[in-house]
């Protein structure tokens, strides 16, 4: 039987934070969490977009989400945002992402995609860990991509990539890092005897502005036109793309370390548990990435 949003349990009393929740997958994730009774914090970089998203979500669900200003490409902003929260947190959805822009650096000097997609979420999870550990059944869901399958390895040089930048390679490596982080967080939580559940998800090919926003920073190019056309023709909706995240975030009894994607060739369809590549499951590589991430961000978990 296919899983749908009708299978999401009552989430009354549970508190969730979703990064990148002003549009696309994050917005759809926040929408369903609100519909099922959760208290939701929209964490995003642009206050105006956050306010518009919050108003839209309230009009649709009757529930008012909180808004938190968060720029994942700025580690000071991550620390400031986390410090504003004081109540226990049941669910953290590491969803926000940057895809395939021309070479840019974060405030802290890292390549933009790696700095935002991986290091920003690593630091945010670390700083929110005390609030997560105050919840009865805390869960962290990290959103990756099927493009992690193109990656055969990773190095500390990828954090900056100043002399060898290829935008799609860097994007894929950042999503590969998301999976290494998710699985290593699961290992460390279990080794520490914690009840924190770490899981991952990917949306398949979903229609959001992520595919064209990064490429569009180069101007209107053939690549951005083709990406836009492909998205319109063959991608599933953002609501459908959010289903694996919602499954990972809400399914009772989800096995720790689960990775969830669409059922049809991991491309589209109802969510199911899928497998990361063997390289993404390498514990030694994950431990090295963890050590590099601690060095880069100045924070640690477990």
- Reported as a single tens digit per residue, the pLDDT across 189-207 is 999 999 999 999 999 987 6
Please identify which of the residues 175, 207, 224, 293 carries the catalytic annotation: 175
Q: Which residues pair with 105 in a beta bridge?
A: 111
Report the candidate in 279, 262, 254 with the shortest Cα–Cα distance to residue 140: 254
Please identify which of the residues 144, 207, 258, 263 carries the catalytic annotation: 144
Residue 1 has pLDDT above 60, yes or no: yes
273 and 251 in contact (C-beta within 8 Å)?
Answer: no
Q: In which band, very low, low, confident or very high, does the pLDDT at 210 lie, cut at 50, 70 and 90? A: low
173 and 158 in contact (C-beta within 8 Å)?
Answer: yes
**Percent share of the chain, pLDDT over 70:** 90
Report the candidate in 95, 194, 195, 215 with the shortest Cα–Cα distance to residue 144: 95
- For the question of residue 272 being annotated catalytic, the response is no
Q: In which band, very low, low, confident or very high, does the pLDDT at 264 lie, cut at 50, 70 and 90? A: confident
Please identify which of the residues 27, 167, 170, 171 carries the catalytic annotation: 171
Instruction: Output the six-digit token pair for 130.
Output: 């005390």
- Structural domain spans, the chain: 5-204+237-297
Residues near 282 by Cβ (< 8 Å), separated by ≥ 6?
180
Q: In which band, very low, low, confident or very high, does the pLDDT at 164 lie, cut at 50, 70 and 90? A: confident
End-to-end CA distance of the chain: 38
User: What's the CATH number for 5-204+237-297?
Assistant: 3.40.50.720
Q: How far apart are CA 92 and CA 50, in angstroms?
A: 17
- For the question of residue 144 being annotated catalytic, the response is yes
Instruction: Output the six-digit token pair for 247.
Output: 């499954």
- List pLDDT tens digits, range 36-75: 999 999 999 999 999 999 999 999 999 999 999 999 999 9
Which residue is it, tokens 């805390």? 138
Whole-structure pTM value: 0.92
């Amino acid at each position: 039987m296919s899983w749908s949003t009708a299978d999401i349990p009552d989430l009354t009393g549970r508190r969730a934070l979703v990064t990148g929740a002003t549009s696309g997958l994050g917005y759809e994730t926040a929408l369903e969490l609100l519909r099922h009774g959760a208290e939701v914090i929209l964490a995003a970089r642009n206050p105006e977009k956050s306010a518009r998203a919050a108003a839209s979500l309230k009009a649709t669900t009757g529930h008012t989400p909180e808004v938190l200003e968060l720029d994942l490409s700025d580690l000071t902003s991550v620390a400031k945002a986390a410090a504003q929260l004081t109540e226990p947190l049941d669910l953290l959805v590491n969803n926000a992402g940057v895809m395939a822009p021309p070479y840019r650096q974060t405030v802290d000097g890292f390549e933009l995609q790696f700095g935002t997609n991986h290091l920003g979420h690593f630091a945010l999870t670390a700083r929110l860990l005390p609030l997560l550990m105050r919840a009865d059944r805390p869960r962290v869901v990290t959103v990756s991509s099927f493009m992690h399958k193109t990656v055969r390895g990773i190095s500390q040089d990828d954090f900056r990539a100043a002399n060898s930048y290829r935008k799609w390679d860097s994007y894929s490596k950042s999503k590969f890092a998301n999976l290494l982080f998710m699985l290593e967080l699961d290992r460390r939580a279990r080794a520490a005897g914690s009840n924190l559940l770490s899981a991952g998800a990917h949306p398949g090919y979903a229609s959001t502005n992520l595919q064209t926003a990064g490429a569009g920073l180069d101007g209107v190019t053939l690549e951005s036109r083709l990406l836009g056309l492909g998205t319109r023709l063959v991608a599933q909706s953002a609501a459908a793309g959010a289903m694996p995240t919602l499954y990972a975030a809400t399914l009772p009894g989800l096995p720790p370390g689960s990775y969830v994607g669409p059922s049809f060739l991991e491309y589209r369809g109802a969510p199911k548990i899928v497998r990361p590549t063997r390289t993404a499951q390498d514990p030694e590589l994950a431990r090295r990435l963890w050590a590099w991430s601690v060095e880069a961000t100045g924070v640690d978990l477990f």
